[in-house]
Structure 1
Amino acid sequence: MVRYFIELSYRGTAYHGWQTQANGISIQTTLEAALTQRLGRPIYVVGSGRTDSGVHAKQQFAHFEVEEPINQSESFIYSLNCILPEDIAIHRIFPVQANHHARFSAIYRYYQYYVSRQKDAFQNGLTYHFRPHLNHEIMNEACKMLRQYTDFQSFSKARANVNHFHCRIDFTYWERINDDDLTFHIQANRFLWGMVRTIVGTLLEIGQGRMNLEQFEQIILAKDRNAAGRAAPANGLYLVEVGYPAEVMEHRA
């Protein structure tokens, strides 16, 4: 068997997340259908992570296996993109070693969350229209506090099927783009189910002055999802980068 990585991006608005669902269309199912149609055999893909319903990806990776090497030409990728809907785009397909795994070989994931005070007809479904003024400086103080901890059970959905709630956050901060727009940045080795959106929702409470830093720290220490704020909507969240060791990205079989 020959294993290939796919680099792709997608607008998640019309999909019930990455993972195949019994009750809705997913990115995974749509991608598998296109590959199966083009290659003439059933194809199963494994993603680097499971983005939630409505979440977007500027960069996502997945892998699949076939018995014989495939054509990696631009025309092959173009033909796949013609099969796929307009809101999913394949950028690269390249061979990797048999032990390279889209999910387990990844060493970090980087997300951004976009907030805007102004309604924009061209950004509908792509940013969170949030009218209140926000103090991004105090929100960044809370971000510094986040980096002091590794257990984020308070920011994980209660039904998360995981062995532990520990994550290594590499960086997290808010960037003020202009008077109306803010972007949240966070990178970690792994993320829990719903973690980024719940962190954002809680930080928005701090930015409005409805929660102080001491209360925020108590939420982290509580290890209880009920202690944190509500999750921010999915439409403002983007997976923007997935990192792998250099040997994975050398494009060698």
Structure 2
Amino acid sequence: MRYFVELSYNGKAYHGWQIQPNAITVQEVVEKALSTLLGVPISIMGAGRTDAGVHATQLFAHFDTDVVFDTPKLIYKLNSFLPTDIAIRDIFKVKADVHARFHALSRAYVYRVAIEKNVFNVDHCFYVKHALDVDKMNAAAKILFEYKDFQCFSKTHTDVKTYNCDIMQAEWLVKNGELHFVIKANRFLRNMVRAIVGTMINIGLGKVEVESLHTIIASKNRSEAGFSVPAHGLYLTDIEYPKDIKL
């Protein structure tokens, strides 16, 4: 039987989602908890691979098991067993061929930029002390819809078959002393969101002209784009699937 698990986590203490040989990751911690509570080895496959320090308010992963369990009790036990920075929100049955990563229709991220100094969000936002021109940043965000190939924002030496992504949403919102960059696409390249945000901050600071974004994207060269903003301001917030995946 295949199950989806919906979870959220604060990524500060973790070296990303995916299991790595010499660092603690969210996947490793969740797998150990499931294996312990179900009494059999459990492997999980996540919908994405968040980098070290990146957070998730919603991430789905799938696992297979023939062990029969009471879902509410397992969720309760998992949340008691897991550290306080990982929370299980739901577990539900899905069709046997549904894959958490490959069947996702879209993913959405939010990057939080603090424009007012706040000592209580230093681990959750990237603070920019200089004034930002949000209108210019939103004008730049609209340019993203004109393109598919975003190699210029991808981490170099990344093994991917294509750099094409379909952008569905990209905008800057002002919220309680913060700027939130909301972006939704069918897929993302490694480091893509953080590189886009860094480039747009440079535009907002007046260091780069809005129209220069066309040249940057066309260059397909990471060195032409802006700096990569810190991981702690980035949140995976939403993953969409076809409506018929559940049993």
Give the shorter-chain TM-score range.
over 0.9
| 1:168 aligned residue (166, 174, 177) | 166
> 1:113 is matched with which residue: 103, 111, 114?
111
Unpaired stretches in structure 2, ≥5 consecutive residues = none
Counterpart Cα distance in 1 of 2:198 and 2:65: 42
Per the alignment, in what secondary structure is the counterpart of residue 195 of structure 2?
Answer: helix
User: Partners in 2 of 1:23 and 1:118 — Cα distance?
Assistant: 37
TM-score, scaled to structure 1:
0.95
Tell me the alpha carbon deviations over residues 162-209 of structure 1, each in whole angstroms, 9 at most, x when there is no partner.
00100000010001225x311100000000000000000000000000
Shift of 1:21: 1.2
Unaligned runs of 5+ in 1: none
Structure 1 CA distance, aligned partners of 2:175 and 2:119? 19
1:20-39 equivalence runs, <5 A: 20-39=19-38
Alignment RMSD (CA, Å): 1.0
Pick from 214, 225, 228 the counterpart of residue 225 of structure 2: 228
Answering whether residue 4 of structure 2 is matched by residue 5 of structure 1, we say yes
Q: Aligned residue for 1:195?
A: 192
Q: Alpha-carbon deviation of 1:40?
A: 0.9
- Residues 229-248 of structure 1 aligned to structure 2 (within 5 Å): 229-248=226-245
**Which residue identity does 2:167 align to in structure 1?**
I
> How far is the alpha carbon of 1:55 from its aligned partner?
0.4
Task: Give 1:92's match in structure 2, choosing from 90, 93, 97.
Answer: 90
Tell me the residue number matched to 1:66: 65
User: For 1:13-162, what aligned pairs fall within 5 Å after superposition?
Assistant: 13-72=12-71, 74-162=72-160
Residue 217 of structure 1: CA displacement? Answer: 1.1
> Identity of aligned pairs, percent?
47
CA contact (8 A) 2:107 2:186 kept: yes
SS of the equivalent of 1:190 reads coil
Answer whether contact 2:38 2:67 (CA < 8 A) is retained. no
CA displacement, residues 134-186 of structure 1 (integer Å, 9 cap, x when unaligned): 001001111111110000000000021100100000010001225x3111000
1:69 to partner: Cα distance = 3.5
Q: How many residues align?
A: 247
Measured after TM superposition, the shift of residue 12 of structure 1 is 0.3
Cα distance in structure 1, aligned partners of 2:132 and 2:50:
27
Mapped partners of 1:35, 1:175: distance in 2? 38
Corresponding residue SS for 2:157: coil
Give the aligned residue type for 2:53.
G
